């Protein structure tokens, strides 16, 4: 393939693509130009900043773990079984992708809030979820889950069931097949799906604000902190934004590597 | 170990029954789409038939579509291993772990499973490949490992679905030899297109066509005295059908009278099959003078196919092998008229 030099891309397509790339990159450059480098370190190490950063990382990791625990079984059921109403269910599961996060936050409030569908029950045991760190994790999981389910389901369908059938005829129970064949085969997609979920959780704003509020150290994650600082201290907001951009770039790079089929990577290394 | 199956899959119009005796290898032959793979999937538990039942030794594998609630043993509980055209080695496991997968899944310890894997790798002459990854194997090596993996699971019945079909012709003989050794004394069903597989590996063949068993019996009998055009095609013999007119005369369905050599008594008026090797048929452009014991049949050439040192000339249901030089001299081409002739001794006749 690398020997072929034929590109076949019309010039005008390349030109429009360049405009699109500029549209994505320029705002980042504009932000970089406004960073107050002299005070950069003090700005991102202030108490409120560190609180927000620590909370964001902790909650995003927790919600990523929750996404994996719930999302893997969901993807397996969607990809490997057929039942009545499955198409409808898949659309519903993916709804948080297209739903405005604020709407998600309101929905969560009416589910887990003090007077919510389930919240009333929790309240009876003295457990309050809304406006707690738990609420942050739930809000992030709600918006991030579809990323994991979507990427994993696609991978499961691509891998197909042939290896699983072989495993079953060799005497492996369904759980053994899942653990020793299915999951290892889709591991790259699982990793990239988890990384995407983590990134989405890290950037979550609307649902968190609506469902969890903005309490320093408890529910005020980095995006909320940035939004708040923007009013009083624009330099701090820009500095923290840069931190988020760096984390996002790292995450995208990791996801991109993990998303490659393992065999391809192996072959390239051998060359 | 003995196996019995009776199953109907309506969606694919497959309805078969077959048996495998203890330690017996049967070959299932049939054209594409005849339902061979469907049958294997049903036996392995990967496809649920609409009705039918199967028994492996004392165990009921399934019994569905009857009046009762039905019985369905999942694939992992059947003791039936399947080997497909592609080796399908688990790409994320080493060769050794692939072979150890079956024993591990059946609860053997890591050490026991490892020892068993080593033993089977030895038996298929692949011990030195144990630490490789499947991506580092050739097609022939991978299929060899797949054989070891299927057998290490200690199946009561082994299913082989065209195991040689995806292999290079240069490596197929070695695998065939391996299979002949490891399949000895093991209940096996092998689906194949290759008559050589049937002759070297199978005790008995079953011919499937359009989802039904159309012929079965000992390999040599079925292939040397074919009853179906498919079985005749496998060994490349001519198959003519007709009715017996006398003890050694057959009237074919297209109206030719053949002098034949009956290998069983032919009752006049009964249906008869005649098999005839193309090499025993000669071709001419003019009607040859009649000779006693020789049959002469005219035909219009439909196909001329060079096959190395001979040319196969086909005219309708009959084919003759002639030398390339004769083919050129006779100027044989589709559309011209030829006269085929053959001796009665070469035309083996048997009741259908």
Q: Look up the ipTM and state it.
A: 0.80
Q: Is B272 helix (H, G, I), strand (E, B) or coil?
A: strand
Within 10 angstroms of residue A115's Cβ, the number of other Cβ atoms is 10
pLDDT attached to residue B95: 96
Per-residue pLDDT reduced to its tens digit, A49-103: 899 999 999 999 999 999 999 999 999 999 999 899 888 998 998 899 889 999 9
B45 touches chain A (CB under 8 A): yes
Do the beta carbons of residue A243 and residue A222 sit within 8 Å? yes
Residue A107 has pLDDT above 90, yes or no: yes
Cβ–Cβ pairs < 8 A, chains A and B: 74
B211 touches chain A (CB under 8 A): no
User: Which residue among A168, A187, A262 sits closest to B75, beta carbon to beta carbon?
Assistant: A168
Q: Is B262 helix (H, G, I), strand (E, B) or coil?
A: strand
User: Which is more confident, A262 or B238?
Assistant: B238
Per-residue pLDDT reduced to its tens digit, B27-38: 999 888 888 999
Mean pLDDT of A13-32: 94
CATH topology of domain B236-351: OB fold (Dihydrolipoamide Acetyltransferase, E2P) (2.40.50)
Which is it for strands B294-300 and B310-315: parallel, antiparallel or unpaired? unpaired
CATH placement of domain A40-270: 1.10.3720.10
Q: Which two tokens stand for residue A268?
A: 């390239």
B108 touches chain A (CB under 8 A): no
User: Which residue among B46, B86, B102 sits closest to A170, beta carbon to beta carbon?
Assistant: B102
Residue A265 has pLDDT above 60, yes or no: no
Cα distance between residue B162 and residue A86, in whole Å: 36
Task: pLDDT band for A257, please (50, 70, 90 cuts).
Answer: confident
Q: Most confidently modeled of A102-111, A260-269, B245-254, B320-329? A: A102-111
Q: Which residues of A235-262 are buried (b: 16+ CB within 10 A; e: fewer)?
A: ebbbbbbbbbeebeeebeebbeebbeee
pLDDT attached to residue B334: 87
Residues in A lying within 8 Å of B, measured between beta carbons: 162-163, 165-174, 176-177, 180-181, 184-185, 187, 262-263, 266-267
pLDDT attached to residue A1: 46
Q: Could you tell me where the DSSP H helices lie in chain B?
A: 36-44, 95-105, 110-123, 139-152, 172-183, 195-201, 219-224, 229-235, 324-330
pLDDT attached to residue A3: 56
CATH placement of domain B3-224: 3.40.50.300
Domains of chain B by residue range: 3-224, 236-351
pLDDT attached to residue A94: 87
pLDDT attached to residue A4: 66
Q: Most confidently modeled of B111-120, B176-185, B229-238? A: B111-120
Q: Which residues of B touch A163 (CB under 8 A)?
A: 88, 90
Q: What percent of chain B has pLDDT over 90?
A: 39
The average confidence (pLDDT) of chain A is 89
Query: How many Å lie between the alpha carbon of A168 and the closest alpha carbon of chain B?
Result: 5
pLDDT attached to residue B1: 61
pLDDT attached to residue A259: 60
pLDDT attached to residue B222: 85
Q: Which residues of B touch A181 (CB under 8 A)?
A: 90
Residue A256 has pLDDT above 80, yes or no: no
Residue by residue, DSSP assigns A132-190 as SHHHHHHHHHHHHHHHHHHHHHHHHHHH-SHHHHHHHHTT--HHHHIIIIIHHHTHHHH
Mean pLDDT of B262-275: 87
Interchain CB distance below 8 Å, B88 and A170: no
Residue B56 has pLDDT above 60, yes or no: yes
Q: Which residues of A touch B61 (CB under 8 A)?
A: none
Residue A269 has pLDDT above 70, yes or no: no
Q: Which two tokens stand for residue B208?
A: 């499937």
Do the beta carbons of residue B34 and residue B76 sit within 8 Å? no
Per-residue pLDDT reduced to its tens digit, B78-87: 999 999 888 9
From the candidates A155, A168, A171, A178, which should be mutated to test the interface with B, based on the most B CB atoms within 10 A?
A171
Task: pLDDT band for B289, please (50, 70, 90 cuts).
Answer: confident
Per-residue pLDDT reduced to its tens digit, B92-148: 999 999 999 999 998 899 999 999 999 999 998 889 999 999 999 998 899 999 999
The pTM of the full predicted model, rounded to 2 decimals, is: 0.81
């Amino acid at each position: 393939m690398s020997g072929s030099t034929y590109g076949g891309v019309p010039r005008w397509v390349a030109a429009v693509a360049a405009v699109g790339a500029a549209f994505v990159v320029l705002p980042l450059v504009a932000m970089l130009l406004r960073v107050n480098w002299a005070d950069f370190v003090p700005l991102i190490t202030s108490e409120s900043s560190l609180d927000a950063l620590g909370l964001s990382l902790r909650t995003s990791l927790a919600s990523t773990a929750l996404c994996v625990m719930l999302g893997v079984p969901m993807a397996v059921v969607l990809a490997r079984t057929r039942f009545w109403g499955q198409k409808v269910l898949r659309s519903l599961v993916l709804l948080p992708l297209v739903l405005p996060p604020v709407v998600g936050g309101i929905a969560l409030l009416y589910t887990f809030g003090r007077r919510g569908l389930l919240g009333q029950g929790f309240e009876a045991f003295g457990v309050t979820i809304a406006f707690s760190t738990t609420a942050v994790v739930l809000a992030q999981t709600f918006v991030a889950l579809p990323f994991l389910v979507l990427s994993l389901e696609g991978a499961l369908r691509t891998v197909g069931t042939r290896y699983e059938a072989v495993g079953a005829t060799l005497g492996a129970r369904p759980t053994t097949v899942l653990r020793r064949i299915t999951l290892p085969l889709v591991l790259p997609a699982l990793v990239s799906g988890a990384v995407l979920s983590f990134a989405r959780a890290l950037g979550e704003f609307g649902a968190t604000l609506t469902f969890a509020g903005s309490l320093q150290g408890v529910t005020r994650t980095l995006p909320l902190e940035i939004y708040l600082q923007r009013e009083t201290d624009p330099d701090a907001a820009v500095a923290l934004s840069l931190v988020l951009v760096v984390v996002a770039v790292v995450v995208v790079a990791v996801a991109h590597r993990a998303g490659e089929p393992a065999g391809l990577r192996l072959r390239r290394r051998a060359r | 170990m003995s196996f019995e199956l009776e199953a109907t899959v309506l969606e694919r119009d497959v309805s078969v029954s077959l048996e495998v005796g203890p330690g017996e290898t049967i070959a299932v032959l049939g054209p594409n789409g005849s339902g061979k793979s469907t049958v294997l999937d049903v036996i392995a538990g990967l496809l649920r038939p609409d009705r039918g039942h199967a028994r492996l030794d004392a165990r009921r594998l399934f019994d569905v579509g009857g009046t009762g609630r039905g019985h369905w043993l999942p694939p992992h509980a059947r003791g039936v291993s399947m080997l497909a055209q592609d080796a399908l080695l688990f790409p994320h496991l080493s060769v050794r772990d692939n072979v150890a997968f079956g024993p591990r899944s059946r609860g053997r310890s890591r050490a026991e499973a490892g020892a068993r894997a080593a033993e089977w790798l030895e038996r298929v002459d692949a011990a030195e490949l144990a630490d490789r990854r499947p991506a580092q194997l050739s097609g022939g090596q991978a299929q060899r490992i797949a054989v070891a993996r299927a057998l290490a699971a200690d199946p009561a019945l082994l299913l082989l679905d065209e195991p040689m079909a995806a292999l290079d012709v240069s490596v197929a003989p070695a695998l065939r030899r391996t299979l002949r050794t490891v399949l000895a004394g093991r209940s096996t069903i092998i689906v194949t297109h290759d008559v050589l597989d049937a002759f070297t590996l199978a005790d008995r063949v079953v011919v499937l066509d359009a989802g039904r068993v159309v012929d079965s019996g000992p390999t040599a009998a079925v292939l040397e005295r074919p009853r179906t055009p498919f079985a005749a095609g496998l060994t490349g013999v001519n198959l003519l059908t007709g009715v017996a007119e006398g003890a050694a005369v057959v009237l074919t369905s297209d109206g030719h009278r053949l002098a034949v050599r009956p290998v069983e008594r032919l009752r006049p008026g009964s249906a008869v099959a005649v098999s005839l090797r193309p090499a025993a048929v000669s071709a001419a452009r003019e009607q040859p003078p009649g000779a006693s014991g020789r049959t002469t049949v005219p035909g219009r050439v439909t196909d001329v196919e060079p096959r190395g040192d001979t040319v196969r000339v086909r005219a309708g249901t009959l084919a003759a092998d002639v030398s390339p030089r004769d083919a050129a001299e006779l100027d044989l081409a589709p559309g011209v008229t030829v006269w085929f002739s053959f001796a009665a001794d070469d035309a083996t006749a048997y009741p259908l």
